[in-house]
Amino acid sequence: MLHSKNVDRAVFLPTMILFGVVSVILITGGPAVQQLMNALLSFVTSKYEWLYISIYVINFVFFIVLIFSKYGKIRFGKADPGKDYSSFQWGSMVFATAIDASILMLSATDPLQYLQHPAFGAKPLSADAFAYANVVGQFNWGPMAWMMFATATIAIAYTMYVKKIPVRRLSTVIPILRGDQFYKKVLRQFIDFLVVFGIMGGIGSSIGMEIPVIARVLSIIVGIKDTIYLKLFLFFILLILFSLTVYAGLNKGIKKLSAWHIYLAIIFLAIVLLVGPTKYLIGSEGHSLELMGQHFAALSFNKANAGTNGFAQHQTLFYWGWWLAYMPVMGLFIARISHGKTIRQVVIGMMTYGVGGCLSFYAVLGGYALWLQQSGTLNIVHILNTQGQAAVQAALITTLPMNKLMLIIFCVSCFIFLATTISSSAFIVSSFTSLDLSNGRQPSRWNRMAWVIVFIIFSLGIVVVGGFETVQAICTVAGFPLIFVCGLLLFSIYQSVTGREEMAKVKVPNYLPVVNLRPLQKIMINHHLLHNISQDDF
């Protein structure tokens, strides 16, 4: 049956079993699982913080240099306006797929956390604390974060559209792992396992974080108790929505859902901006961006000087693990929709749609939450400390005009956010476990649907375990091994765009005195041979 559905049993079955085993452990483990994850989080962040910081700084500098170099003009296949996605379609799919409903919650609650644990030596709840409250959060969703998605995207797109090599797995795009040697086969399988491990952490954490928020908001709208049965009902609704989207496929399902999501997000933010303290929100965002620019170097090296508890540094490591966990699956997805675009267009597009979209949420929702606290309209910090993040979101929305309608828009937006992220992830994992996807063929619907069900069960396990700290631990730990994958991908991109990979394959002909050649002479010979210079002309 698996072969008839174009499914690669060697990858599908072990991966499916892995998801199943971890899901059972989460559902049945209880507090012991939570304690284990927190212990792992403490160990990784205390011992290997420097690795997270190093890979993000190196990755950011690498792509800044790349897009402004001559290699930024490299195009991923010949542009075809009839088949390629427009800039808006591409941007909406990138943003809606990469950023799930977490941005709706965290953009409002993060500034309140930093208000109590301010960066750069400010006193809690002081004027300086209000000024800095949005800075670290926006940095964690800003340029350095989005550049992490560019790593896998550029490596995969170059392999697919320039080298014309089909890509179903991330290990395919790493040249130094190609070959029939046993150790290379083992390394390729290990890389692919790490990709699945990252997907588990990213997707499961997203749903595990957002379902409790949606349940709390829905309980206010409908007037029913927020219980585990309401959460199970939401999982059932998500299962139906994900199934319909994945069944429809990339163009009919995910593309349309992404466009609806962007329009709904714009409407939601516009209403908050217009009916809220518009002048305050615009002014405070301008000041936040100015402060982020001033402290960008310190933030990049995770030196926010946040006092003894190091709250800001801890949050940044959590986000760095989260972005790393999503890096492979988002790279595989964005590469598939980037045919006809250049390296420069793809990276700058991420910076435009991705960074711009994230900063907009922090500017509006985060700024509005800070205004409620600073103006004395609502003690929203007290709500966060006593009732949690879900209560903050509900309380914030109820202060708006037409709050019932706004709560409904919020819930629908969350569902669409989740649907685009999880559906595209299921699409990519089903591609990962397919045998043949040549000539534009898509994974079988059976394969896609199987992954939707698995994601739902795994996410349910995280909700059962509960606690935002558990979500943070899973994200950070899942992203850690992908630091090394990111390093390999950067080296692969460098080899590919500069021609070093092809140069290494060239064998100097017998008619040249190779024994006495110096290294520089060998490089010159390889350069001429790559450009098909004849023997006589040479």
pLDDT digits (tens, 9 = 90+) for 399-435: 988 888 888 888 777 777 777 667 767 777 777 777 7
Six token digits for residue 38: 């927190």
pLDDT digits (tens, 9 = 90+) for 143-161: 999 999 999 999 999 999 9
**Cβ partners under 8 Å of residue 372, min gap 6:** 378, 380, 396, 399
In b/e form, how buried is each residue of 356-375, taking b as 16+ CB within 10 angstroms?
Answer: ebbbbbbbbbbbbbbbbbbe
Higher pLDDT, 309 or 19: 19
pTM score: 0.82
Alpha carbons within 13 A on the beta-carbon side of 192: 23
Is 86's pLDDT higher than 60?
yes
Q: How does residue 207 score in pLDDT terms, banded at 50, 70 and 90?
A: confident
393: part of which helix (H) or strand (E)?
A: helix 389-398
Mean pLDDT (the chain, rounded): 81
- CA distance linking residue 36 with residue 19, whole number of Å: 18
Taking CA 194 as the corner, what is the angle to CA 190 and CA 199, rounded to the nearest 5 degrees?
150
- What is the structure's pLDDT at 12? 78
Q: Which of 303, 306, 324, 333 is nearest to 474 (CA)?
A: 324
Identify the three-state secondary structure at position 75: strand
Taking CA 316 as the corner, what is the angle to CA 475 and CA 148, rounded to the nearest 5 degrees?
70
Whether residue 317 contacts residue 45, with contact meaning beta carbons closer than 8 Å, is answered with yes
- What is the structure's pLDDT at 3? 55
